[in-house]
């Protein structure tokens, strides 16, 4: 999968926003949006996030209906100055996370540790790690290949977004 060629301010948002709002669509055609921490897998031109096997609805929805979206609209913690809002619409592929040391899994967990430093006290506790194995280590990965990207400058939703063509660098 090739890298994405994106305007720098859009790439900064994908790298720096702490959370995005992920939407999947259920069997009844109902969209459900939840916040998620997504890892920008730059070498593969994808966005990657995961869910615990205890709460697999996003993954189950994405398996049935692969068209998903990620909205980056809350810059809290990102330290970016007046960033745009970005909506990524893309196609999801879903798979159980069986190798915890795969680069993008490692990338995601490093990102979580960096952005949520207080969680270190929890995850470094051996007992907690075993009690919460279903949350920390038994996960389903969702990789999203962007198909269309919409951008609102200054996160001004009163204006129409502009579309960024999704171009890949081979």
In the list 8, 81, 118, 169, the residue contacting other proteins (rule: CB under 8 A) is 118
Examine residue 158 and tell whether it contacts other proteins (CB under 8 A): yes
Q: Which of 117, 169 has the CB closer to other proteins?
A: 117
73 binds other proteins (CB under 8 A): yes
Q: Does 89 interact with other proteins (rule: CB under 8 A)?
A: yes
Place of tokens 């962007």: 146
The CA angle 124-72-102, to the nearest 5 degrees, is 40
Alpha-carbon distance of 85 to 7, in angstroms, equals 13
DSSP string, 106-156: HHHHHHHHHH-TTHHHHHT-HHHHHHTHHHHTSEEEEEEEEEEEEEEGGG-
Does position 126 bind other proteins by CB under 8 A?
yes
Query: Which of 3, 11, 25, 166: binder of other proteins (CB under 8 A)?
Result: 25
- Nearest in space to 107 (alpha carbons), one of 42, 169, 51: 42
CB 25, min distance to other proteins, A? 6
> Which is closer to other proteins, CB of 17 or CB of 170?
17
Residues 6+ apart with CB under 8 A from 133: none
- The residue (of 5 and 130) whose beta carbon lies closer to other proteins is 130
Instruction: For residue 34, state whether it binds other proteins (rule: CB under 8 A).
Output: yes
Tokens 């996960």 belong to: 139
- The reply to whether 123 sits near other proteins by the rule CB under 8 A is yes
Stretch touching other proteins by CB under 8 A, among 4-12, 39-47, 83-91, 162-170: 83-91
Q: Which of 6, 14, 47, 71 binds other proteins (CB under 8 A)?
A: 71
DSSP 43: G
Asked if 147 is part of the footprint of other proteins (rule: CB under 8 A), the reply reads yes
């Amino acid at each position: 999968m090739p890298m994405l060629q994106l305007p720098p301010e859009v790439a900064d948002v994908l790298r720096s926003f702490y959370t995005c709002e992920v939407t999947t669509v259920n069997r009844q055609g109902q969209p459900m949006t939840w916040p998620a921490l997504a890892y920008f897998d730059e070498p593969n031109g994808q966005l990657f996030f995961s869910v615990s096997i205890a709460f697999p609805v996003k993954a189950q929805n994405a398996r049935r209906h692969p068209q998903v979206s990620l909205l980056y609209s809350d810059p809290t913690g990102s330290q970016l100055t007046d960033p745009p809002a970005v909506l990524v619409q893309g196609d999801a592929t879903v798979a159980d996370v069986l190798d915890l040391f795969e680069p993008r899994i490692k990338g995601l967990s490093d990102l979580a540790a960096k952005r949520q430093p207080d969680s270190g006290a929890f995850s470094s506790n051996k007992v907690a790690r075993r009690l919460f194995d279903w949350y920390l280590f038994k996960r389903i990965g969702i990789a999203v290949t962007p198909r269309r990207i919409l951008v609102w400058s200054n996160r001004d939703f009163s204006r129409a977004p502009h579309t960024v063509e999704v171009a890949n660098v081979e």
